[in-house]
């Protein structure tokens, strides 16, 4: 080949990954090319070197070796070398760049580079690439992206809360659904949507120590979100070099004790978390170190979710203190707060007359309207019946020196009960860890029963082992003995029998206990067994709860208020009376009834209206069912696995086993376990088999497949055969796909206004534009596979003409890009301004709207407009179709 000159830039046709080479030596029949990417030189025979000359043209972008890019405005040739003239993208200055100074990285337009190098992929890989881009654009625009892949039944109240909260600017809310209705699930959905749409990046979860692992497992199992638990030891290890340990991961769980200890407080505050979740938030009590440290984090982190089923467990002041964590400006006076609460009834009456935006506005004005979401069993329906079984047992006087359990009639009752219960499992909850240990000893010694135990003195691993031992059907324990605090928040809905070995004085604690079984997922009725000694505290409390408030068989949302009103009388009775005094019982009943009526007409009504709007929830469910598009997902992933060397084995109608093979196209694909995994795209199957992967468009493996196909070169150039007798043999077409998108950055979710978009241009061999006349699918239907060798030959024959056509189309693509940008800017301006206006108007009536919510819209508007100025435009895929009849 005589056209070689020193300094020219050539590509290796066989190894485009080497980047752009430079001719360093020409010696008659040989040419030496140096590839700066790895510093290696290759010597080729000049007459058939597998090299392709890189010749860029006007309108294209190129990169200088010093790492800046420019748009080419003119190209000149001098002694066999090309000189590019153009304008730098960063400072707009005019530049002149001899080709020898081009960067060896030629990623600016990989499809074009591959065309120039004469490379082509199989037609099916090209189709898969295009599909990936279409699916990605669709997913980006779905209002339920991030809610598609949760392994959950689609429950309206959860979806409504999650979606509403996830869409807020800097949400700061209290998720306060009744025990076991799915607050953890709601928090997971909020996180998932906000993480996947780029609104949040770094999440810190604070939970009681006993729940750390459950959270870890629940987030992985339900949302495929991988959290890391951080404790003292881990922080020590990671901070060896003085680094902030919390930057080591994006999703972190710590215990409330860890936060209260405060050893790592400053690092936590500097770790740039943008979403904080605090579970069992009723533990946060003002004046404690835990509260103060959490308060400081709340001030530092823009988005906060507090979770508690019993917001008023520590009284209305405690409730107020937690609301202060969310918005100290709004909740600055306890008196005002309490004053507002007394107007619930009038508000509820007004609210029941309203719908739509008027209702929204009114609810927003109700003091906790925007801040708190509380769903109740009563409004959701479909929960199991609860049955109380009480067992009066004779009193006994413990003999001094003997263990109490040798004589306590409740222990022998328990042994008989367990015998009669077989094979059903029983959860027993009592007050303290000591009682748990004593009871375990009693059952071992007196009945030979090996009980699983669960209390705050155990390590997490021990607790998880105990839970697993209890859950096991085969050789598991028939009973799990739990202390009060040790079992909070835990999931035991596979059990139907609960023994309350003693009774707490606080109605919220009773509700928490029953909530271990009475949770979503409970398949049977819940049986609550209370063995009690006559004339004991339990005997009194049993009547107080059952006869006074029906608190065993029904959820008791006002129990806390009754307790506060009667606390002293109850204490006196517990200290001195043998049975519940009639007047106390009567007052309890009356006040309970009065509160139920008042709250139902007032607070509860408002909370119900705020916590779930059935029509909006139904729409979300419909969106999820549509956008999940399980059949399309399955077909797409099957083609992907096939093309990328992943082995598949169909297990049954809904399940498949997938495993990396030895012939993978890439070394590893994120989200695909090394030793394989069973998958399903069917929600019911995923719910029935929790150990298999539920694939959805949100799943990390599917996202990785899409990313691989759309950001790497796979399928970016292909040649296919057309068999159309109406066309002359040898007629050919060039189909170009341009893609534009905004970089995913920061927390502004600019892609909402500018999702990935594509421009298709179809040209015939004369360069005539047939885009509108011949749709893509029509061509694809007629197109068939061409073997690789022929495909490459064709590419080499046609690449010069194709390159020329591509160059001619550049202005069309640029004009389209400008149009897209203008449209997106208009839309963004309009929508964001409307959002701001609405919030400003609302703020005039309702102080619950925070200034930072409004400021966040301004900040987002500025950032979005900035991002919309610089979307990327790239030639995403090139298809050449050649008619061969
Ligand atoms: N939509 C759902 N589909 C399937 N399971 C669910 C769903 N929602 C909740 N669950 C299950 O129900 C149980 C209770 O849910 P979760 O733990 O989120 O409730 P919670 O309100 O946080 O409970 P607690 O008040 O005890 O803290 C869990 O086992 C959870 O996995």
Average pLDDT over residues 180-207: 94
Last residue of a domain, one of 308, 341, 375: 375
Residues with Cβ within 8 Å of residue 445, at least 6 apart in sequence: none
Both 114 and 79 in one domain: the answer is: no
Packing angle between helix 315-326 and helix 289-300, nearest 10 degrees?
A: 30
Last residue of a domain, one of 530, 556, 582: 556
Ligand 1 in reach of 158 Cβ (< 6 A):
yes
Specify whether the CB–CB gap between 161 and 375 falls below 8 A.
yes
**Torsion, CA 433, CA 435, CA 440, CA 445, rounded to 10:** 150
Cα–Cα dist 559/180, whole Å: 17
Global pTM reads 0.77
Beta bridge partner(s), residue 373? 175
Task: Give distance in angstroms: CA of 184 to centre of ligand 1.
Answer: 6
Residue 356 assigned ligand-binding role: no
> Is 565 inside a domain boundary?
no
Q: How confident is the model at residue 744 (pLDDT cuts 50, 70, 90)?
A: low
Average pLDDT over residues 761-784: 91
Cα–Cα dist 126/383, whole Å: 51
Q: Is the pLDDT of residue 474 over 90?
A: no
**Burial class of 361 by CB neighbour count within 10 A (0 to 12, 13 to 18, 19+):** middle
Q: Is the pLDDT of residue 856 over 90?
A: no
Cα–Cα dist 686/695, whole Å: 9
Give the residue whose CA is nearest to atom 14 of ligand 1. 180
Mutating to test ligand 1, I would choose from 180, 207, 471, 485 the residue with most ligand atoms within 8 A of its C-beta, which is 180
Average pLDDT over residues 220-240: 91
Both 51 and 84 in one domain: the answer is: yes
* pLDDT reported for residue 287: 86
Both 84 and 118 in one domain: the answer is: no
Cα–Cα dist 33/26, whole Å: 9
Both 98 and 183 in one domain: the answer is: no
Q: Is the pLDDT of residue 532 over 80?
A: yes
* pLDDT reported for residue 580: 87
* pLDDT reported for residue 420: 93
The phi and psi torsions of 517 (rounded to 5 degrees) equal -100, -40
Both 49 and 179 in one domain: the answer is: no
Residues of the chain with pLDDT > 90, as a percent, come to 45
Both 117 and 223 in one domain: the answer is: no
Residue 178 assigned ligand-binding role: yes
Domain of residue 75: give its range: 9-106
* pLDDT reported for residue 679: 92
Cα–Cα dist 518/480, whole Å: 16
Cα–Cα dist 550/165, whole Å: 34
Task: Please state which of the ranges 348-352, 419-423, 556-560, 822-826 shows the lowest mean pLDDT.
Answer: 348-352
> Is 364 inside a domain boundary?
no
Six token digits for residue 199: 């609104």
* pLDDT reported for residue 810: 83
Distances (CA, A) of 137 to 226, 412, 616: 25, 66, 24
Residue 177 assigned ligand-binding role: yes
Beta bridge partner(s), residue 453? 481
Task: Give distance in angstroms: CA of 182 to centre of ligand 1.
Answer: 4
Last residue of a domain, one of 354, 375, 396: 375
Ligand 1 in reach of 155 Cβ (< 6 A):
yes
Both 873 and 744 in one domain: the answer is: yes
Q: Which residue has the higher pLDDT, 311 or 21?
A: 21
Task: Give distance in angstroms: CA of 527 to centre of ligand 1.
Answer: 20
Q: What secondary structure, in 3-state letters, does 117-153 show? A: CCCCECHHHHHHHHHHHHHHHHHHHCCCCCCCCCCCC
CA dihedral for 800, 802, 803, 809, sign (positive or negative): positive
Q: Where do we find the tokens 């998880």?
A: 464
Task: Give distance in angstroms: CA of 520 to centre of ligand 1.
Answer: 6
Both 118 and 63 in one domain: the answer is: no
Q: Which helix (H) or strand (E) holds 335?
A: helix 334-341
Task: Give distance in angstroms: CA of 808 to centre of ligand 1.
Answer: 59
Give the residue whose CA is nearest to atom 16 of ligand 1. 182
Task: Give distance in angstroms: CA of 183 to centre of ligand 1.
Answer: 7
Task: Give distance in angstroms: CA of 159 to centre of ligand 1.
Answer: 13
Both 181 and 83 in one domain: the answer is: no
Closest CA to 116 of 710, 707, 716: 716
Residue 182 assigned ligand-binding role: yes
Cα–Cα dist 532/521, whole Å: 30
Both 50 and 34 in one domain: the answer is: yes
pLDDT tens, 440-454?
999 999 989 999 998
Ligand 1 in reach of 153 Cβ (< 6 A):
yes
Ligand 1 in reach of 489 Cβ (< 6 A):
yes
SS3 (DSSP) at 518: coil
pLDDT tens, 100-129?
898 887 655 678 777 877 778 888 999 999
Q: Could you write out the DSSP letters of every residue in 272-315? A: --SEEEESSGGG--TTSHHHHHHHHHHHH-SEEEEE-S-TTTTH
Specify the DSSP class assigned to residue 17: G
pLDDT tens, 679-726?
999 999 888 887 789 999 999 999 999 999 988 888 998 999 998 888
Q: How confident is the model at residue 514 (pLDDT cuts 50, 70, 90)?
A: very high
Cα–Cα dist 701/684, whole Å: 20
Q: Where do we find the tokens 């040790």?
A: 486
Task: Give distance in angstroms: CA of 467 to centre of ligand 1.
Answer: 17
Atom of ligand 1 nearest to the CA of 185: 18
Residue 659 assigned ligand-binding role: no
Ligand 1 in reach of 482 Cβ (< 6 A):
no
Q: Which residue has the higher pLDDT, 845 or 309?
A: 309
Ligand 1 in reach of 150 Cβ (< 6 A):
no
Ligand 1 in reach of 182 Cβ (< 6 A):
yes
Cα–Cα dist 26/46, whole Å: 9
The phi and psi torsions of 662 (rounded to 5 degrees) equal -80, -5
Q: Where do we find the tokens 């709340």?
A: 298
Q: Could you write out the DSSP letters of every residue in 405-431? A: GGT-HHHHHHHHHHHHHTTS-EEEEES
**Burial class of 369 by CB neighbour count within 10 A (0 to 12, 13 to 18, 19+):** buried
Cα–Cα dist 255/214, whole Å: 12
Specify whether the CB–CB gap between 74 and 59 falls below 8 A.
no
CATH code at 457? 3.40.50.300
pLDDT tens, 623-640?
999 999 999 999 999 999
Q: Is the pLDDT of residue 381 over 80?
A: no
Residues of the chain with pLDDT > 70, as a percent, come to 94
The length of the chain, given as a count of residues: 885
Both 114 and 85 in one domain: the answer is: no
Ligand 1 in reach of 309 Cβ (< 6 A):
yes
pLDDT tens, 573-619?
998 877 889 999 999 999 999 888 877 766 666 777 777 888 889 99
Q: Is the pLDDT of residue 239 over 80?
A: yes
Q: Give the Cα-Cα-Cα angle 214, 459, 489 (nearest 5 degrees).
A: 30
* 787 C-beta neighbours (distance < 10 Å), count: 11
Mutating to test ligand 1, I would choose from 519, 620, 624 the residue with most ligand atoms within 8 A of its C-beta, which is 519
SS3 (DSSP) at 204: strand
Q: How confident is the model at residue 313 (pLDDT cuts 50, 70, 90)?
A: low
- Residue 719 Ramachandran class (φ > 0 left, ψ -120 to 50 alpha, else beta): beta
Number of domains in the chain: 4
Cα–Cα dist 710/712, whole Å: 6
Mutating to test ligand 1, I would choose from 206, 486, 520 the residue with most ligand atoms within 8 A of its C-beta, which is 520
Q: Is the pLDDT of residue 216 over 50?
A: yes
> Is 98 inside a domain boundary?
yes
Q: Give the Cα-Cα-Cα angle 244, 247, 249 (nearest 5 degrees).
A: 140
Task: Give distance in angstroms: CA of 522 to centre of ligand 1.
Answer: 10
> Is 601 inside a domain boundary?
no
Task: Give distance in angstroms: CA of 521 to centre of ligand 1.
Answer: 8
Residues with Cβ within 8 Å of residue 172, at least 6 apart in sequence: 298, 303, 304, 305, 326, 327, 371, 850
Task: Give distance in angstroms: CA of 633 to centre of ligand 1.
Answer: 27
Q: Which helix (H) or strand (E) holds 461?
A: helix 460-471
Specify whether the CB–CB gap between 178 and 560 falls below 8 A.
no
CATH code at 35? 2.30.30.930
Specify whether the CB–CB gap between 175 and 186 falls below 8 A.
yes
Residue 180 assigned ligand-binding role: yes
- Give the ipTM of the model, two decimals please: 0.98
> Is 499 inside a domain boundary?
yes
Task: Give distance in angstroms: CA of 487 to centre of ligand 1.
Answer: 14
* pLDDT reported for residue 880: 93
Closest CA to 440 of 458, 464, 424: 458
Ligand 1 in reach of 156 Cβ (< 6 A):
no
Ligand 1 in reach of 690 Cβ (< 6 A):
no
* pLDDT reported for residue 1: 41
Q: Characterize the bridge pairing of strands 479-483 and 426-430.
A: parallel
Q: How confident is the model at residue 89 (pLDDT cuts 50, 70, 90)?
A: confident
> Is 2 inside a domain boundary?
no
Cα–Cα dist 68/533, whole Å: 83
* pLDDT reported for residue 745: 60
Atom of ligand 1 nearest to the CA of 218: 31
Ligand 1 in reach of 152 Cβ (< 6 A):
yes
Atom of ligand 1 nearest to the CA of 490: 26
Average pLDDT over residues 404-430: 92
Give the residue whose CA is nearest to atom 26 of ligand 1. 489
Cα–Cα dist 843/327, whole Å: 14
Closest CA to 469 of 507, 425, 511, 414: 425
Q: How confident is the model at residue 368 (pLDDT cuts 50, 70, 90)?
A: low
Residue 179 assigned ligand-binding role: yes
Q: Where are the alpha helices (DSSP H) in 472-613?
A: 507-514, 537-549, 559-576, 582-601, 603-611
Beta bridge partner(s), residue 321? none
Task: Give distance in angstroms: CA of 258 to centre of ligand 1.
Answer: 25
Summary mean pLDDT of the chain: 87
Q: Where are the beta strands (DSSP E) in 478-520?
A: 479-483, 497-500
Give the residue whose CA is nearest to atom 11 of ligand 1. 520
* 845 C-beta neighbours (distance < 10 Å), count: 12
Both 116 and 170 in one domain: the answer is: no
Give the residue whose CA is nearest to atom 28 of ligand 1. 491
Atom of ligand 1 nearest to the CA of 512: 26
Cα–Cα dist 472/509, whole Å: 27
> Is 429 inside a domain boundary?
yes
Q: Which residue has the higher pLDDT, 815 or 523?
A: 815
Give the residue whose CA is nearest to atom 9 of ligand 1. 182
Task: Give distance in angstroms: CA of 296 to centre of ligand 1.
Answer: 29
Specify whether the CB–CB gap between 700 and 670 falls below 8 A.
yes
Cα–Cα dist 737/876, whole Å: 5
> Is 697 inside a domain boundary?
no
Ligand 1 in reach of 555 Cβ (< 6 A):
no
Atom of ligand 1 nearest to the CA of 177: 21
Ligand 1 in reach of 491 Cβ (< 6 A):
yes
* pLDDT reported for residue 277: 98
The listed range with the strongest mean pLDDT (293-297, 394-398, 471-475) is 293-297
* pLDDT reported for residue 2: 46
423 cis-preceded (ω within 30 degrees of 0)? yes
CATH code at 302? 3.40.50.10810
Cα–Cα dist 207/803, whole Å: 59
């Amino acid at each position: 080949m005589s056209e070689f000159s020193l300094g020219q830039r050539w590509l290796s046709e066989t190894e485009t990954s080497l980047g752009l080479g430079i001719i360093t030596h020409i010696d008659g029949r040989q040419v030496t090319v140096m590839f700066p990417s790895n510093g290696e030189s290759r010597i080729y025979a000049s007459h058939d070197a597998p090299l392709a000359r890189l010749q860029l043209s006007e309108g294209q972008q190129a990169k200088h070796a010093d790492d800046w890019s420019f748009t080419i405005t003119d190209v000149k040739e001098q002694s066999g070398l090309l000189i590019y003239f153009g304008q730098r993208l960063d400072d707009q200055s005019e530049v002149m760049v001899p080709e020898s100074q081009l960067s060896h990285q030629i990623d600016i337009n990989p499809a074009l580079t591959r065309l120039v190098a004469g490379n082509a992929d199989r037609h099916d890989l090209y189709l898969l690439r295009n599909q990936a881009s279409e699916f990605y654009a669709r997913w980006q625009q779905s209002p339920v992206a991030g809610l598609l892949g949760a392994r959950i039944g689609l429950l309206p109240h959860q979806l409504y809360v999650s979606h509403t909260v996830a869409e807020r600017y800097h949400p700061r809310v209290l998720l306060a659904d009744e025990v076991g209705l799915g607050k953890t699930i709601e928090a997971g959905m909020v996180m998932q949507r906000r993480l996947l749409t780029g609104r949040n990046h770094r999440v810190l979860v604070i939970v009681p120590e006993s729940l750390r692992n459950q959270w870890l497992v629940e987030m992985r199992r339900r949302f495929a979100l991988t959290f890391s638990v951080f404790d003292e030891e881990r922080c020590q290890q990671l901070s060896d070099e003085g680094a902030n340990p919390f930057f080591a991961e994006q999703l972190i769980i710590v215990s409330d004790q860890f936060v209260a200890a405060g050893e790592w407080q400053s690092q936590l505050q500097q770790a740039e978390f943008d979403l904080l979740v605090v579970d069992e938030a009723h533990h946060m009590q003002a004046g404690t170190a835990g509260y103060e440290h959490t308060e400081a984090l709340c001030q530092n982190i823009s988005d906060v979710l507090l979770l508690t089923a019993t917001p008023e467990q520590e009284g209305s002041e405690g409730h107020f203190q937690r609301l202060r964590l969310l918005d100290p400006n709004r909740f600055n006076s306890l008196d005002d707060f309490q004053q507002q609460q007394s107007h619930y009834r009038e508000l509820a009456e007004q609210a029941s007359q309203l719908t739509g935006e008027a209702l929204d506005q009114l609810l927003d004005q109700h003091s906790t309207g925007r801040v708190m979401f509380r769903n109740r069993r009563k409004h959701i329906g479909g929960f199991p019946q609860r049955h109380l079984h009480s067992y009066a047992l004779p009193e006994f006087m413990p003999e001094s020196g003997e263990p109490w359990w040798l004589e306590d009639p409740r222990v022998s009752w328990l042994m008989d009960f367990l015998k009669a219960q077989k094979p059903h499992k029983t959860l027993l909850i009592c007050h303290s860890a000591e009682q748990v240990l004593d009871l375990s000893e009693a059952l071992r010694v007196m009945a030979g029963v090996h009980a699983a135990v669960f209390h705050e003195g155990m390590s997490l691993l021990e607790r998880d082992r105990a839970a697993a031992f209890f859950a096991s059907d085969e050789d598991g324990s028939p009973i799990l003995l739990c202390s009060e605090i040790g079992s909070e928040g835990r999931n035991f809905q596979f059990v139907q029998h609960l023994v309350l070995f003693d009774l707490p004085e606080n109605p919220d604690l009773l509700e928490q206990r029953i909530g271990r079984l009475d949770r979503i997922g409970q398949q049977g009725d819940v049986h609550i067994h209370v063995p009690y000694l006559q004339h004991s505290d339990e005997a009194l409390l049993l009547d107080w709860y059952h006869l006074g408030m029906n608190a065993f068989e029904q959820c008791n949302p006002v129990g806390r208020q009754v307790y506060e009103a009667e606390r002293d009388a109850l204490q006196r009775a517990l200290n001195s009376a043998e049975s519940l005094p009639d007047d106390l019982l009567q007052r309890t009943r009356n006040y309970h009834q009065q509160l139920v009526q008042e709250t139902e007409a007032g607070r509860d009504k408002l909370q119900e209206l705020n916590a779930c709007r059935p029509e909006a929830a139904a729409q979300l469910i419909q969106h999820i069912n549509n956008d999940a598009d399980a059949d399309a997902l399955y077909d797409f992933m099957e083609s992907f696995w096939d093309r990328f060397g992943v082995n598949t084995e169909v297990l049954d109608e809904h399940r498949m086993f997938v495993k990396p093979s030895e012939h993978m196209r890439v070394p590893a694909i994120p989200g695909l376990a090394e030793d394989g995994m069973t998958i399903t795209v069917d929600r019911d199957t995923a719910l029935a088999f929790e150990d298999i992967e539920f694939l959805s468009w949100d799943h990390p493996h599917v996202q990785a497949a899409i990313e691989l196909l759309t950001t790497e070169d796979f399928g970016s150039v292909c040649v296919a055969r057309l068999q159309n007798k109406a066309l002359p043999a040898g007629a050919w077409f060039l189909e170009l796909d341009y893609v534009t998108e905004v970089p995913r950055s920061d927390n502004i979710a600019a892609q909402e206004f500018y999702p990935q978009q594509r421009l298709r241009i179809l040209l015939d061999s004369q360069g005539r534009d047939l885009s509108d006349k011949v749709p893509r699918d029509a061509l694809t239907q007629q197109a068939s596979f061409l073997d690789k060798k022929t495909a490459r030959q064709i590419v080499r024959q046609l690449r010069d003409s194709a390159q020329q056509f591509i160059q001619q189309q550049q202005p069309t693509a640029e004009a389209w890009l400008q149009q897209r940008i203008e449209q997106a800017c208009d839309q963004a301006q309009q929508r964001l301004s409307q959002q701001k206006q609405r919030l400003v108007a609302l703020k005039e009536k309702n102080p619950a709207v925070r200034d930072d919510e409004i400021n966040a819209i301004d900040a987002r508007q500025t950032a979005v407009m900035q991002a919309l100025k610089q979307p990327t435009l790239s030639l995403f895929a090139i298809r050449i179709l050649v008619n061969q009849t």
